[in-house]
Amino acid sequence: MTEDIIIFQKKLTERLLELDLDKQPKELYEPIHYTLSLGGKRMRPILAIMAYMCSKDDWERIIDPALSIELFHNFTLIHDDIMDEAPLRRGQPTVYKKWNKDIAILSGDVLMVMAYDLLMRADYKDFKYLLRLFNQCAIEVCEGQQLDMNFEERSFVSEDEYIEMIRLKTAVLLGFSLELGGLLGGMTKEEAIHLREFGVNIGIGFQLKDDLLDVYGDAQKFGKQVGGDIIANKKTLLLIKAIELAEGKQKLDLHNLMADKEIDPEVKVKKMKAIYEDLNIEAIAEKAMNDHFEKGFVQLNTLEVSDYNIQPLRKFTEALIARDH
Amino acid sequence: MTEDIIIFQKKLTERLLELDLDKQPKELYEPIHYTLSLGGKRMRPILAIMAYMCSKDDWERIIDPALSIELFHNFTLIHDDIMDEAPLRRGQPTVYKKWNKDIAILSGDVLMVMAYDLLMRADYKDFKYLLRLFNQCAIEVCEGQQLDMNFEERSFVSEDEYIEMIRLKTAVLLGFSLELGGLLGGMTKEEAIHLREFGVNIGIGFQLKDDLLDVYGDAQKFGKQVGGDIIANKKTLLLIKAIELAEGKQKLDLHNLMADKEIDPEVKVKKMKAIYEDLNIEAIAEKAMNDHFEKGFVQLNTLEVSDYNIQPLRKFTEALIARDH
């Protein structure tokens, strides 16, 4: 299983680096090569391959269309990093930091066009249908990023709004990855929609898992500062539920903690975790996460695919669900 | 003739404003609606319609794919205005000024996806061929913008480099507009390539005309400051040729003029124009412009289209060539 994943990753990255990026003007193509060389798990194209393998074995045939999702994803990262003023991505300087914002905007734009170019290599009779799904997904991802930025400016965000934001910003692209792979493998459009809905729900669950790991993860395994979301007052489901449930003195403490710009970050994390514990936030967020995982698997189980054929996708997803970092 | 153009413009703008932009989050869709409402000549979709009318009359059928070019063009304007720090567009604040850079990046991205969505409405048997042409053109436009920014940092730019930059940045999109219209009207791919080459050459000529008008245009008709390019040391063909041809004291004067940050702008324009006159720059640039127009018409004349059918396109282009502002 894990061996397969490594083979996919290797092949996908090889193919990515075969793209003709030794072109002029180098200010446009070097940042693209840099971004694609930074690595990453290639989770989205692997999901597409897994979905394809529910029906067929010759997964190498769909590498290019599967990689269109990876290019699109990297395009959004390059532009998002400008907006989020993120200095690092996968431990390396972001494109706008290493070069500048203009170059990050424009090389991102080129990457997006390149994504369409790879999608075109899909061998599918109703190509416009694929393109319509891709466009829909692309627009939703942009909407999600805008909502995320809007939420930073707002003092109150509801649970439903938050779930909708992460659905758009991260989950729909996982859904599209699976749907694309399913369609290319020969599933009907209806079947592939179940696969998409599986991906969307699993994707929401993954983000909730990330939110939980940020607070309750093992610092060493997690590889980044535990409690980063708390320090930044990021309106994750955990904080949203805490704001919703806190009453009286606790409510006051919570708002004072959030407003205190002088507080030592470690103290802030510790105090916030104490509030979360009183309010049972971890269990609440875990339940929301598991509900989405379950909803996802209900969709997956509607598919009439043999246990044997769906096993790789099921195992891969379960491994992602079980990860502790 | 002019009446036809007004009908096209009206219909195109009507259809643009019918696009569903009353959506959430409004931070994304309001800037798009704003940009599309600012007006503009809609030259690119009109060129597509004119090309279509070389073969067919029912031009309303191609409004949506023709507008994909207008959306793409507006996407580039929104992103370019960030990079060029342009405060105004068509007399109104640019998107990044009216809102902010993040919103300009993201609403530009959405507009680009919307362009693909409209292109999909093209009724053409080999849709992937259209998409390939569109992608090629889109990437070239980005390359042109990057070259333009690079040239600002460089002290020397050759005539060939400049022509290549304007070919990419502005001319290929006119070429694609015509090619798309030709293909949708039923021309063969080979015929449509001639139409594209007509558009590319005409497009280069138009930019050279803009460069000339910036210096020699009638201030009142031109609607903007005459000599703006001179004041900004913009490396247009005029300045490039002057740098190439100036010798001795004149060369020194030219470089001093360019380096003088204290000089009164009107004096700078006057002195630079005197140098241009000595070096016969206006005639040189006019010849380069006319050479491209001629090259374009050679391509147009290879088409086996009746004089009657090609008349609208020919007249429209000739009117654009004859414009004095």
Q: A73 contacts in B (CB within 8 Å)?
A: none
- Which of B61, B35, B31, B32 shows the shortest CA–CA distance to B48? B61
**Using CA atoms, how far apart are residues B262 and B32, in angstroms rounded to an integer?**
40
Q: A25 contacts in B (CB within 8 Å)?
A: 143, 146-147, 150
Note whether B28 contacts A146, CB cutoff 8 Å.
yes
**Using CA atoms, how far apart are residues A66 and A114, in angstroms rounded to an integer?**
13
Is residue A220 predicted with pLDDT exceeding 80? no
- Is the Cβ of B86 closer than 8 Å to some Cβ of chain A? no
**Using CA atoms, how far apart are residues B163 and B169, in angstroms rounded to an integer?**
10
Prediction pTM value: 0.96
CA dihedral of residues A210, A213, A219, A221 (deg, nearest 10)? -70
- Is the Cβ of B258 closer than 8 Å to some Cβ of chain A? no
| Candidate from B131, B135, B150 with C-beta closest to A25 | B150
**Using CA atoms, how far apart are residues B276 and A188, in angstroms rounded to an integer?**
68
- Which of B5, B63, B11 shows the shortest CA–CA distance to B316? B5
**Using CA atoms, how far apart are residues A293 and A299, in angstroms rounded to an integer?**
10
What local confidence, expressed as pLDDT, does residue B43 receive? 96
Q: B131 contacts in A (CB within 8 Å)?
A: 116, 120, 131
What local confidence, expressed as pLDDT, does residue A245 receive? 97
What local confidence, expressed as pLDDT, does residue B39 receive? 86
Cβ-contact A115, A75 below 8 angstroms: yes
Q: B24 contacts in A (CB within 8 Å)?
A: 143
- Is the Cβ of A127 closer than 8 Å to some Cβ of chain B? yes
- Which of B152, B155, B191, B174 shows the shortest CA–CA distance to B303? B191
Of all residues in chain B, the one with the smallest CA distance to A79 is B105
Q: Which residues contact B15 (CB under 8 A, 6 or more apart)?
A: B63, B64, B67
**Entry field: residues in chain A:** 325
* DSSP β-ladder status, B88-89 and B92-93: antiparallel
Q: Which fold has domain B2-211+289-322?
A: Farnesyl Diphosphate Synthase (1.10.600)
What local confidence, expressed as pLDDT, does residue A222 receive? 58
Q: A27 contacts in B (CB within 8 Å)?
A: 146, 149-150
Distance (Å) from the alpha carbon of A201 to chain B's nearest alpha carbon: 22
**Counting Cβ atoms within 10 Å, is residue A198 exposed (0-12), middle (13-18) or buried (19+)?**
buried
HSE-up of residue B225 (Cα within 13 Å, Cβ side): 9
What local confidence, expressed as pLDDT, does residue A312 receive? 92
Cβ-contact A268, A230 below 8 angstroms: yes
**Using CA atoms, how far apart are residues A72 and A62, in angstroms rounded to an integer?**
16
And the tokens for B33?
Answer: 């609606």
What local confidence, expressed as pLDDT, does residue A223 receive? 61
Region at A39 (left for phi over 0; alpha for psi -120 to 50; beta for the rest):
left
- Is the Cβ of A188 closer than 8 Å to some Cβ of chain B? no
Measured in degrees and rounded to the nearest 5, phi and psi for residue A89 equal -140, 120
**Using CA atoms, how far apart are residues A144 and A165, in angstroms rounded to an integer?**
5
- pLDDT tens track for A14-34: 999 999 999 999 999 999 999
Three-state secondary-structure class, residue A89: strand
Cβ-contact B298, B202 below 8 angstroms: no
Degrees to nearest 5, angle at CA B100 with B97 and B103: 125
Note whether A105 contacts B113, CB cutoff 8 Å.
no
- Is the Cβ of A113 closer than 8 Å to some Cβ of chain B? yes
Distance (Å) from the alpha carbon of B26 to chain A's nearest alpha carbon: 9
What local confidence, expressed as pLDDT, does residue B325 receive? 72
Q: B117 contacts in A (CB within 8 Å)?
A: 132, 135
Is residue A146 predicted with pLDDT exceeding 70? yes
| Other Cβ atoms closer than 10 A to A255 | 13
Q: Which residues contact A192 (CB under 8 A, 6 or more apart)?
A: A178, A179, A182, A183
One-letter identity of residue A108: G
What local confidence, expressed as pLDDT, does residue B3 receive? 87
Note whether A113 contacts B102, CB cutoff 8 Å.
no
Beta bridge pairs of residue A88: A93
Q: B138 contacts in A (CB within 8 Å)?
A: 113
Q: Indicate the CATH number for domain A2-322.
A: 1.10.600.10
- pLDDT tens track for A185-218: 999 999 999 999 999 999 999 999 999 999 998 8
| Other Cβ atoms closer than 10 A to A18 | 8
Place of tokens 């009779």: A125
Note whether A79 contacts B105, CB cutoff 8 Å.
yes
In B22-61, the residues whose Cβ lies within 8 Å of chain A are 24-25, 27-28
Three-state secondary-structure class, residue A270: helix
- SS3 readout for chain B: CHHHHHHHHHHHHHHHHHCCCCCCCHHHHHHHHHHHHCCCCCHHHHHHHHHHCCCCCCHHHHHHHHHHHHHHHHHHHHHHHHHCCCCEECCEECHHHHCCHHHHHHHHHHHHHHHHHHHCCCCCCCHHHHHHHHHHHHHHHHHHHHHHHHHHHCCCCCHHHHHHHHHHHHHHHHHHHHHHHHHHHCCCHHHHHHHHHHHHHHHHHHHHHHHHHHHHCCHHHHCCCCCHHHHCCCCCHHHHHHHHHCCHHHHHHHHHHHHCCCCCHHHHHHHHHHHHHHHCHHHHHHHHHHHHHHHHHHHHHCCCCCHHHHHHHHHHHHHHHHCCC
Q: A105 contacts in B (CB within 8 Å)?
A: 79, 82-83, 105
And the tokens for A199?
Answer: 């991906």
Instruction: Tell me which of A57-66, A303-312, B267-276, B292-301 is least confident.
Output: A303-312
Is residue A1 predicted with pLDDT exceeding 80? no
* Torsion sign over Cα A219, A221, A224, A226: negative
And the tokens for B197?
Answer: 């080459």
One-letter identity of residue B191: E
Note whether B25 contacts A146, CB cutoff 8 Å.
yes
Note whether A139 contacts B113, CB cutoff 8 Å.
yes
What local confidence, expressed as pLDDT, does residue B222 receive? 58
One-letter identity of residue A229: D
Distance (Å) from the alpha carbon of B291 to chain A's nearest alpha carbon: 27
Note whether A128 contacts B112, CB cutoff 8 Å.
no
Note whether B106 contacts A127, CB cutoff 8 Å.
no
DSSP structure class, residue A217:
S
Note whether A120 contacts B139, CB cutoff 8 Å.
no
- Is the Cβ of B94 closer than 8 Å to some Cβ of chain A? no
For chain A, where are the E strands, in sequence order? 88-89, 92-93
**Using CA atoms, how far apart are residues A139 and A117, in angstroms rounded to an integer?**
17
Average pLDDT over residues A147-174: 96
Q: Which residues contact B107 (CB under 8 A, 6 or more apart)?
A: B27, B28, B29, B31, B32, B35, B78, B95, B99
Note whether A105 contacts B79, CB cutoff 8 Å.
yes
- pLDDT tens track for A261-270: 999 999 999 9
pLDDT in tens, chain B (325 residues): 578 899 999 999 999 999 999 999 999 999 999 999 998 999 999 999 999 999 999 999 999 999 999 999 999 999 999 999 999 999 999 999 999 999 999 999 999 999 999 999 999 999 999 999 999 999 999 999 999 999 999 989 999 999 999 999 999 999 999 999 999 999 999 999 999 999 999 999 999 999 999 999 887 775 667 899 999 999 999 999 999 999 999 999 999 999 999 999 999 999 999 999 999 999 999 999 999 999 999 999 999 999 999 999 999 999 999 987 7
**Using CA atoms, how far apart are residues B39 and B89, in angstroms rounded to an integer?**
10
What local confidence, expressed as pLDDT, does residue A3 receive? 87
Note whether B102 contacts A25, CB cutoff 8 Å.
no
